[in-house]
Each structure stands twice: as C-alpha cells, then as structure tokens.
Structure 1
Amino acid sequence: MTDKRLRLVFAGVLPLGLLAPVPAQAACSPLSLCSCTVSATGVAFGSYNTLAASPNDAAGSVRVVCTLLLDLAGSFTVDLSPGASNNYAGRTLRNGTNSLVYNLYTNAARTQIWGNGTGSSLRVTQSFAGLLLVDRTIPVYGRIPARQNARAGAYSDTIIVTVTY
C-alpha cells in the first residue's frame, strides 16, 4: 500500500471557498504496477450570511486516476484530516481568534462526516476490478451551519487528503 497526501487549503473572505491544489503524484507498490494522480476541485461556499436561517452548503471533489500496467483488481481509501481544529465533529475555519464551524461529508444529506474512521468519522473506499484505467471522482460535501456570529474577514483551514493504495 502506498500512502499519498494532498494538502487542501480552505480559505475565503466571506464569501468562503476552497483553493484548488496542485495535483499530487503517487506511485503504487511494485506488486500492483500502477501510477496514480490525486487532485481536488474547490468547495466554494460563496457568501455566508450570519442571519440566514439555513446552512451554507457547497460541494467539491477528490479525483483519483490510476493507470494499471496489468489487469488487476483492488481498492483505494481516501481519508480527510480534521484540519486545524483536530476534531472531526467540529472543523473550524479561522481568522485570527475568530472562527466559523464547518464540516465535510461523504453524502449529500450531510449526515456522514468524512475523516479517517476515528471519532465517528467515515473513510471512503473505492474498489475496482478488471480495469486498466481507474478514474474516480468522489464528491466532497461541505456545510457551514446557520446563524454563527462571525466577523467579516478571511477565514481558512487546511485539510490533508490521504489516498492509500
């Protein structure tokens, strides 16, 4: 198994968004004979209204592309770090001492927190069989809960995406 990490930076100036990272390269183990690329598209939250009754939802994605040199079957797992808060239950975007609680989810209903399998978070695992090219785009669902008292400014957090082959 090869472990590849990709750093994502969440940032914005109310509106909040996710800056797209440079793709990271990963090499599979010698036994699986493959070459992989990991990249992500931004989660653009748009404007956050502190008085709105509804949460601010947005989506992005993580893309994993592997070229297999043999007709193989296997899987890969995608984990997300908790960010600067070190807490999957309440990730935070920060602006100095100011913060906004947000989270990232594996499902559109935003009920399953995406993490590394600890602290009530889930991992995302993708399987493949009989393919010479694996190209998977996995959605990342984001939510900033409603009615948080936040000052205008640039808020950010850093999430590490870890893809294990």
Structure 2
Amino acid sequence: MIKEVSHPEKAAYPQVRSSRSLLTCFWLAGTVVFMISLQLFATCSVDTQSVNFGSYDSFTSQNLEGVGNISVTCSASTSYTIGLSQGNGSYAARLMTNGSSKLVYNLYTSLTQTAVWGDGTSGTALVEGSGTTMSYPVYGIIPAEQTPPVGVYSDAVTVTVTF
C-alpha cells in the first residue's frame, strides 16, 4: 500500500515514487550550508653544523674560539625559541671529555660572550626567532691555559626548538 503525503503545493515539485516505498517523497527547493574547516599545525625542522675548535694549544694565553651554526626552518609566521642543553658539565662550565679527562668550554649567543646559550635557566639565554628559514651562529670558547692530556675531546649538546 502506498501512502501519499499531502503537500499544499505538491504539483509544483517533482514527485519520487517507489514501489518499494511506503511513502511518496517530495523534493522541496532549499539551500543547505555546510562548513569546511582545516587546522594547520606549525612544523619546524633543525639542522646543525658542529662547533669545531681545531687544535688546542695548552701553552697559549689566548682563548680558542670556534663557530658552529643552527638552522631552523618553520612554517610561515611561526615564532620559536632555541635552547641548548648543558651537555657534560654545567651551564657555568660545559665539559668536553676524552675518557676521564676534561676540557672546559662554553657556548654563547654572540661574539661578545655576554650570554651563555642555554635553556633560559641559571642565567642562560634562549635565542628567539620567527619566519621560515633562519640561521643562528653558535660561538664557542675554550679558555686558555688548560693542560689536559693529548687526545680527541668531544661533547654532545641537544638543541631544543620550542614553538
């Protein structure tokens, strides 16, 4: 049995009937609005160039300087901070090691060596940036007149970009 649904203007609208349907459907003209949305998350990547001091002369009265680089690439208009871990030692005196032997050094945000590059604690500085691709020099200093045994000294420092 087919039941018709009455509509005062049903003649003005197309009818759809189905022998399987118990209802007659009428299509009414109208507008349907639906929202389209997308959420984009900021992304950043980091590339580093190590600080290589070369050879250290324990008999010189001059500090040994080296420069490395941190490149940060982020989504457009992304603000971020760059922090460095202590590595071995502390922010006051980072340490490169060769077995149990140690060589004191530190990393700075500028050539003036006024701000130790760290995590923003213990008097250290973070570096702030924004934009797509930016490069930041890392200035390293080994204080003069240390007398470590001969060998290869190294340290591992973690770069953290917070955005």
Q: Give your verdict on TM over 0.5.
A: yes
Out of 48, 57, 60, the position equivalent to 1:40 is: 48
Letter of the structure 2 residue corresponding to residue 103 of structure 1: N
Return the alpha-carbon distance in structure 1 between the equivalents of residues 55 and 153 of structure 2: 12
- How far is 1:32 from its partner? 5.0
Match of 2:87 in 1: 83
Match of 2:97 in 1: 94
Return the alpha-carbon distance in structure 1 between the equivalents of residues 160 and 51 of structure 2: 17
1:99-150 deviations in Å (ceiling 9; x for gaps): 000000001111210000111111111134xxxxx10001100000000011
More contact order relative to length (CA 8 Å, sep ≥ 6): 1
Moved over 3 A (4+): 30-35
Return the alpha-carbon distance in structure 2 between the equivalents of residues 145 and 83 of structure 1: 17
How large is the Cα RMSD of the aligned pairs? 1.6
Letter of the structure 2 residue corresponding to residue 106 of structure 1: T
Percentage identity across paired residues of the two chains: 40
Letter of the structure 2 residue corresponding to residue 48 of structure 1: Y
1:48-104 deviations in Å (ceiling 9; x for gaps): 000011000010110001244xxxx3410100000121x100000011221000000
Question: Which blocks of at least 5 consecutive residues in structure 1 are unaligned?
Answer: 1-29, 129-133
- The alignment's TM-score, normalised by the length of structure 1, stands at 0.72
Match of 1:116 in 2: 119
Out of 127, 145, 148, the position equivalent to 2:146 is: 148
Return the alpha-carbon distance in structure 2 between the equivalents of residues 137 and 159 of structure 1: 17
Question: Which blocks of at least 5 consecutive residues in structure 2 are unaligned?
Answer: 1-37
Match of 1:163 in 2: 161
Q: What is the number of equivalent residue pairs in this alignment?
A: 126
